């Protein structure tokens, strides 16, 4: 697929997309900037002020109410169909799967932890993680996506208390650079305090980052540089995309196959690699099918016996 080819996430087809007037990013993008409201269920054990509901007034501003309910909302500004190079400006199904996992695990996995999201896009997963974690770094590449991420975090105050809001830090992280944490003076630059926190990262999360082989190579290389001890855990959510290829004369998932090749190599090098069960509660509204996967990676290899990862380009795997 060419970088200029336009793609649209199926998540946005049936969403209540409300056009945003005078969006500062609109001039540099051909597709429409819109605002969507995503409903999700908060697990009963976490119901508190986070169970606020949201409505929009006639100007598109958020109106907060506080009924006694386990249902909440997140307001996301995003774009509709975008070129492949700008897919971070949309919401994809892998992000909803990972968000569901984070909500279902909550304090048990995230409590007191430092979380780093790679390829955070519009910021949904980082927002869910920040409901429980101590500190969250939401990272991506490019001013537009980082601006949109920060905007979304700021307009969802109802999810956090004031301390929690400050826990989400939006930073630029380019996987293709040898040292992606170069300090600077820009709004997305890394500080010396950030570097100290990153060295203590407990959990790395990523969703919908497997679609381009060269970027997958850089993503996995970044994981190998970041994961330095057995206490660190990586969660990667993805949607396996099946296409008919002339090379195979069959339906295949080449990007997924390429990623599995990396997982097999990591496993051979001592990493624990596990495809996780995705039967945890579904909080967001979407179709969870066999093409959605959640992987857990850690180093070094644990004593438990895990199924060996075998790369396959077949659509049946």
Contact 28, 43 (CB under 8 A): no
Tell me: pLDDT of 126 over 50: yes
Look at 125-129, 159-163, 201-205 and tell me which has the smallest mean pLDDT. 159-163
* DSSP string for 287-300: ---TTEEEEEEESS
Q: What local confidence, expressed as pLDDT, does residue 316 receive?
A: 47
Mean pLDDT across 240-261: 75
- Going by pLDDT thresholds of 50, 70 and 90, the confidence category of residue 197 is confident
Give 195 or 234, the one with higher predicted confidence: 234
| Helix H or strand E segment including 116 | strand 114-118
Give Cα separations from 222 to 109, 228, 234, 260, 266 (angstroms). 22, 11, 12, 16, 13
> What is the value of pTM for the model shown?
0.86
- Going by pLDDT thresholds of 50, 70 and 90, the confidence category of residue 61 is low
Give Cα separations from 45 to 41, 70, 105, 108, 133 (angstroms). 11, 10, 11, 12, 16
Mean pLDDT across 54-77: 67
Give the model confidence (pLDDT) of 212-234 as tens digits. 999 999 999 999 999 988 899 99
Give Cα separations from 56 to 16, 18, 75, 157, 292 (angstroms). 12, 10, 10, 14, 32
CATH architecture of 86-298: 3-Layer(aba) Sandwich (3.40)
């Amino acid at each position: 697929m060419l970088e200029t080819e336009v793609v649209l996430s199926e998540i946005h087809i049936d969403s209540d997309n409300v056009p945003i007037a005078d969006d500062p990013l609109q001039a540099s993008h051909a597709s429409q900037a819109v605002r969507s409201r995503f409903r999700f269920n908060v697990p009963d054990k976490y119901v508190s002020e986070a169970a606020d509901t949201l409505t929009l007034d006639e100007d598109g501003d958020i109106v907060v109410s506080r009924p006694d309910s386990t249902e909440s909302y997140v307001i996301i500004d995003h774009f509709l169909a975008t070129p492949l190079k700008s897919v971070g400006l949309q919401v994809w199904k892998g992000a909803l799967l990972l968000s569901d996992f984070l909500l279902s695990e909550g304090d048990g996995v995230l409590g007191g932890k430092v979380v780093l999201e790679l390829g955070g896009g519009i910021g949904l997963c980082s927002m869910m993680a920040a409901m429980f974690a101590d500190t969250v770094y939401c990272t991506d590449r490019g001013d537009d996506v980082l601006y949109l991420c920060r905007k979304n975090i700021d307009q969802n105050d109802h999810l956090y208390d004031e301390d929690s809001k400050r826990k989400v830090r939006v930073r630029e992280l380019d996987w293709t650079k040898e040292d992606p944490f170069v300090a600077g003076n820009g709004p997305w630059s890394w500080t010396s305090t950030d570097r100290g926190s990153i060295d203590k990262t407990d959990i790395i999360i990523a969703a919908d980052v497997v679609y381009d082989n060269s970027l997958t190579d850089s993503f996995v290389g970044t994981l190998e540089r970041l994961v330095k001890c057995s206490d660190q855990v990586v969660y990667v959510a993805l949607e396996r995309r099946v296409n008919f290829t002339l090379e195979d004369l069959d339906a295949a998932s080449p990007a997924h196959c390429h990623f599995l090749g990396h997982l097999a190599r990591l496993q051979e090098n001592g990493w624990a690699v596990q495809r996780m069960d995705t039967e945890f509660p579904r909080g967001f509204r979407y179709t969870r099918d066999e093409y959605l996967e959640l992987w857990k990676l850690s180093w070094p290899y644990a004593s438990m016996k895990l199924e060996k990862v075998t790369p396959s380009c077949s659509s049946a795997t």
